[in-house]
Amino acid sequence: MNSFAKRMPRPYLIVLSLSLLNIGCGGGGYSSPPQPSPQPSPNPSVQSMQGSWTMSFHSDVSNDYTVLEANISQSGTHVFAGATSALVYQGATLATTIPPTSLGSKCDSGAVGTVTLDGTLANVQPTTEAITFTVTQTGALGAAVINASASTDGTQILDGTYTVPAACGFPDDHGTFQGFQDSVKFSSADMYTGSFQGDTIVVRFTSTSTGFGLTATGTDNTTAFSLTGSSTGFFLTLTGNISGQSVTWLLLYDSTYNTFSIFDSDAKHLGTLNGTGPYDYLRK
């Protein structure tokens, strides 16, 4: 007798024996309990790409970089950025795209043209999904379209590839790209200084609590000024008056060195603003 039987009181052994006999007889009243129906696996949710993005496209043809700054919106699996929410600039190498070699796309001549993004998410998994999108760059010389595809977790892109058909006098192009989502928010606690044409500029930037709006307050040779505008990725657009003159500033923020490169509305480089202490740039 095994140890299990030794531990059981004898009346229970009799009941167990009878039960085993009933199981062995055909036509007995025993039936297996119903098995639960298999439950479908939960559908993975679509990752949110909505927010501020920077994407760097590296050409295998020219070895140059095109950098896209975009405030991406999302509706279901549709991702997009309109003309007021996207822009591009050019750089010779990724390490020196700030300051850029030029603002706008290769289809621009003089004034900076418009940029839009339109894409779709697919192959949705719990932690990643595929994205395909087009970036349309329209300028005075025509339009160039970047056709891109990659996988993303909603916060970064590491393995993207792209093609650009010949346009605006340039041959077709192809290469790889990377991107990341990083919300640019500034607090007035941080101060930036610079010198432009003999003037000493001191500026503090303040982002709105929601959205991409911001203000800049400061002094130009001790004369106070205030500018208003918005951010597109790491690019800021500000307008207002400084010392009685109407100005439009385009500022490209370098989060590595906590500096701004400032351009006018014609993409002319005006100078640089440098942070004077530990900066209060808020990463998402």
pLDDT digits (tens, 9 = 90+) for 130-187: 999 999 999 999 999 999 999 999 999 999 999 999 999 999 999 999 999 877 788 8
101, 81, 76: which is closest to 91 by C-alpha?
A: 101
My answer on whether 221 and 109 are in the same domain is: no
Q: What is the pLDDT of residue 8?
A: 39
Question: pLDDT (tens digit, 9 = 90+) per residue, 220-276?
Answer: 999 999 999 999 988 899 999 998 889 998 888 888 888 898 888 777 788 899 997
* Domain-ending residue, one of 131, 150, 181: 181
Asked whether residue 118 is domain-assigned, the answer is: yes
My answer on whether 97 and 136 are in the same domain is: yes
My answer on whether 124 and 222 are in the same domain is: no
Asked whether residue 252 is domain-assigned, the answer is: yes
My answer on whether 133 and 207 are in the same domain is: no
Asked whether residue 19 is domain-assigned, the answer is: no
* Domain-ending residue, one of 181, 200, 227: 181
Site of tokens 């043209």: 113
Lowest mean pLDDT among 93-107, 209-223, 245-259: 93-107
Judged against a pLDDT cut of 80, whether residue 42 lies above it is answered with no
Asked whether residue 140 is domain-assigned, the answer is: yes
Judged against a pLDDT cut of 60, whether residue 199 lies above it is answered with yes
Q: What is the pLDDT of residue 17?
A: 36
My answer on whether 131 and 213 are in the same domain is: no
My answer on whether 156 and 78 are in the same domain is: yes
The pTM (predicted TM-score) of the whole model is 0.75
My answer on whether 167 and 140 are in the same domain is: yes
Q: What is the pLDDT of residue 48?
A: 86
What six digits make up the tokens of 82?
């309109």
Left, alpha or beta for 153 (phi > 0: left; psi -120 to 50: alpha)? alpha
My answer on whether 216 and 174 are in the same domain is: no
Q: How many domains does the structure of the chain reveal?
A: 2
Q: Positive or negative CA dihedral for 125, 126, 128, 131? A: positive
Asked whether residue 1 is domain-assigned, the answer is: no
Radius of gyration for the alpha carbons in the chain, expressed in angstroms and rounded: 31
My answer on whether 173 and 254 are in the same domain is: no
C-alpha to C-alpha distance for 77 and 120, rounded to whole angstroms: 6
Helices (H) and strands (E) in the chain, counts: 2, 18
Partnered with residue 177 across adjacent β-strands are 57, 160
Which domain covers residue 201, as residue numbers?
191-275
My answer on whether 145 and 256 are in the same domain is: no
* Domain-ending residue, one of 123, 154, 181: 181
Half-sphere exposure in the Cβ direction for 157 (13 Å, CA): 24
My answer on whether 144 and 209 are in the same domain is: no
My answer on whether 228 and 107 are in the same domain is: no
**Do 283 and 234 form a contact (C-beta atoms < 8 A)?**
no
